Chains A and B, each alone.
Chain A
Amino acid sequence: MRVGKELLELALHCGARSLCVVGTGKNVGKTVAMRAAYEAACEQGLQVGLASAGLDGEAADQLGGHAKPRIELRAGTCFATARDVLPRSPASEILAISRLQTAAGALVYARAAERAHCELIGPPTASGLREVLEELTARAEIAIADGAIDRVAALAGGRDAIVVACGAAAATTMRQAVDDVSALVQRLGIARFDPDEPAVFIEGALTPLQTARFIGTGERGQIVVRDPTQVALRGRAAAKAFEALRIRCERPLRVIAVTIAAISPERSFEPDAFARAVAAATRLPAFDVYAGKRAA
């Protein structure tokens, strides 16, 4: 199975103009998933834009130092990256210089003229990511981005699809990995509020303290945050809150699938069992990008 093709089709099927891969932690296969979707888009002859919400495409992990999967740009791909990491060779067509700044200089939009490995460094803010995706979708048929969770707020309410990547690198047990991805999917997948029903609107983030108060007072109405990233709850607190309260949002995100990476340098899980558990917990299509499989 071509996992990238499946992910792309899911995104295109729901009318998304961009596909953003977020992860439960580091080294959970975000880049592998992004690359698979990118390759599939290129093979379908789509004009693709590539970006990262942070740092991507570097040869080695910044913390662990071990080799990371790299993205090889195909000729014709538009991409956004920091000026200081733009390779001199092979030369790319420089399309525009953004006013957005990154740690490695101004953000530059370019088009690969030849195949090239390139480190993708993105804007440091959610609004910056929105701007980059808009610029890329203006120049390409679909934009694919590696996105940090705290920056996907910019995608709320837009024509973007989100894929959540999880893996053995971010949890000590399979159970924990499944719980983590399940909580994240539940959080990102908060539904739009119903304007005809009673609601309490939250300014800013929904905190554990506020949540405890709502549970304590037996709140029955909708608890409405601006977008799913405004729910500042993790682990058991999140699970309890979603069980006891009707948490909704004004601008929902669209989570379309989960990818799993059962392997990591530190540990590995049994791939089929992991994929099945993730699919069951998230009720989303779950793909193993390394095994080329969808959970049965």
Chain B
Amino acid sequence: MKRLGLLDPASAQAVGFEWLTAALAPVSAYGERHASGLRPFSASEASLARSRAERIAAVAAGVDEARSDAARALVRELPDVAGAIARASMGEILDDVNFLELLRFCDVLVRMDGLLSGVYADPLAGQEVLDLARALAPGRSAGGGFYLTGALSGELERARERLDKAQRELDESSAQAAQQVARALGRDDVGDADEFIVMRAQLRGALPAGVRVVREAPTYLLCALEYDEATLVALERRDAAAQEAAAAEEGVRARLSSLVREHAAGLEGAARELGALDVTLAAARFTRRFACVPATISEEPVLSFARARFLPLAVELEQAGRAFTPLDLELDGVAVLTGPNMGGKSVCLQTCGFIALCAAFGLPVPAERATVGLFDEIAWLGIGSDRELGGLLSSFAKEVLRLREIFERAAPRLLVLIDEFGRTTTPLEGKALSVALIERLRERDARGMLATHIGGVASQAGARHFAVRGLRGIPERPPTSDLREALETLAGSMDYTIAEVGADTGGRADAIALTALLGMDRSFVDAAYQALSR
């Protein structure tokens, strides 16, 4: 999948583009070619994005796991015939390995049509594919291989009969000569190797006729058999017959290659369709596995969802035996998100990005329902986005430069996900910068969410304010210092859901409680609480 202008590398990493690409990986070279051409839909292609997602959802619903796996297994094992079709189109005569590849290609298309009947209206195996399959069929061997049989050409069959006869005559003649030598030398291995040793001590008299000395040594002679006149004549006849058979074989290959050339357009089309199917099956599998639904694609740049998940994290949590808390959100402008540390603010932003990303590629989204506009750019700003910039710049400077770049790109429909912008400067200036940023985004009619710990940003900017519900109570620190146990305790106490809140509240000092939970000593934590109360 091509990111194009939708995501810069840092934003792609933050919202899980690589993860999504891997989750949607097709199994064949055909699918890889198709996937490499996929690009995000633009705002004017809402209906195309919607119909692709609906198509994928229909395949996910109509093709069960077993049929999907069977179809993918068929495609996975299929050799790539693109090279063979291209070479035939340029007038080359293909080889027998190519014909086996093409035969298997035709077979797989026909079998896929059977496997997926009722799901696809147009068959993959069109007339050109069926014509080629018919032409190659006489070459199909019992074990699923391919051989230029006589059934492909009467001339070939006759040439082979002549070759067999000539070979038999040669074998008889040479065997006769070898037997004579063997008898004369009194041994039975003459002819097993090109050369053989005759020990001088065992040689009575001269070497028999038909034996040539290759090298003489004091105790032995290295010898080779020499063809007699009759064998040489038989050899000439065999070679001539072999040439005739080779010409007949090449004639059949030329005919079959010419058929591939004539049908190249149809075969290439079928290969493209197969690639698209491979990609669709992968997307359908993704849809089933993660219970995705087609989003309503809005003409407006909006983002709202119910019970949405950021799948890269959801999968990681699942592997750790934990569950992702699905999120609900309605975003139609620029909003502020606050909440405790480790409460999932960044994950909420990532979920926004992931849902918008899936919709942009016409994929069903991991949510119960969603309404999504197609954005020209999804930009991530803040934690994790400054790695690619030069090491000489401070974190603050990198962040400002990224912001400037985002504005310079001037994407008409922009979704900006801002994770603690201005966190590295004073709270006062951080707040001022955040308010200015919200105002600038609003002027540009962008959509966005700004996650922050700084109080009062939403009210000063006049923005909607969402908050992670946070800790239900201060959890008891586990008796051990085991981090995993501490995180599980935290997860059990944290309400990761988000809700719109009316005003900026001071909030609880959850950070100090988390510090205790994460193993800092009691006196340190007490000192922090005392400092807070002063």
Contact = CB atoms under 8 A, between A and B. Distances in A.
A75 B230 CA distance: 24
A97 B215 CA distance: 44
A290 B101 contact: no
A86 B97 contact: yes
B193 A94 contact: no
Interface string A37-80: 00100000000000000000000000000000110000000000
Is the interface on chain B under 10, 10 to 19, 20 to 34, or 35 or more residues? 35 or more
Contacts of B79: 97
Contacts of B100: 94, 97
Given A1-B188, A3-B189, A89 B96 contact: no
A91 B96 contact: yes
Contact of B197 (A86, A92, A93, A291): A291
B119 interface: no
Best-surrounded residue of A2, A91, A114 (most CB of chain B within 10 A) = A91
B199 A2 contact: no
Nearest to A288: B197
A254 interface: no
Contact of A89 (B99, B167, B219, B246): B246
B96 A94 contact: yes
Best-surrounded residue of A90, A96, A290 (most CB of chain B within 10 A) = A290
A139 B142 CA distance: 12
Contacts of B227: none
A139 B145 CA distance: 13
Contacts of A2: 188-189, 192
Interface string A19-47: 00000000000001001100100000000
A110 B187 CA distance: 35
Nearest to A93: B147
Best-surrounded residue of B101, B145, B193, B215 (most CB of chain A within 10 A) = B193
Interface in B189-206: 189, 192-197, 199
A14 interface: no
A36 B193 contact: yes
A60 B339 CA distance: 77
B152 to A, nearest CB: 10
Best-surrounded residue of B144, B147, B164, B189 (most CB of chain A within 10 A) = B189
B146 interface: yes
A228 interface: no
A289 B246 CA distance: 34
Given A3-B192, A4-B192, A92-B147, A270 B219 contact: yes
A4 B196 CA distance: 14
Is the interface on chain A under 10, 10 to 19, 20 to 34, or 35 or more residues? 35 or more
Given A1-B188, A271-B219, A111 B197 contact: no
B117 interface: no
B147 A263 contact: no
B143 interface: yes
A115 interface: yes
A13 interface: no
A94 B146 contact: yes
B191 to A, nearest CB: 9
Interface string B55-99: 000000000000000000000000100000000000000011101
A77 to B, nearest CB: 14
A131 interface: no
Contacts of A292: 187-189, 192, 196
A272 interface: yes
A106 B96 CA distance: 14
A177 to B, nearest CB: 16
Contacts of B374: none
B222 interface: yes
Interface string A271-284: 11000000000000
Contacts of B97: 83, 86, 94, 97, 108
Nearest to B143: A95
Nearest to B243: A89
B188 to A, nearest CB: 6
A268 interface: yes
A262 interface: yes
A271 B220 contact: yes
A91 B219 contact: no
Given A2-B189, A108-B97, 7 more contacts: A1-B188, A35-B193, A69-B193, A88-B250, A90-B163, A91-B96, A95-B143
List 5 A-B pairs, minimum CB-CB distance, nearest first. Answer: A89-B246, A292-B189, A93-B147, A291-B197, A95-B145
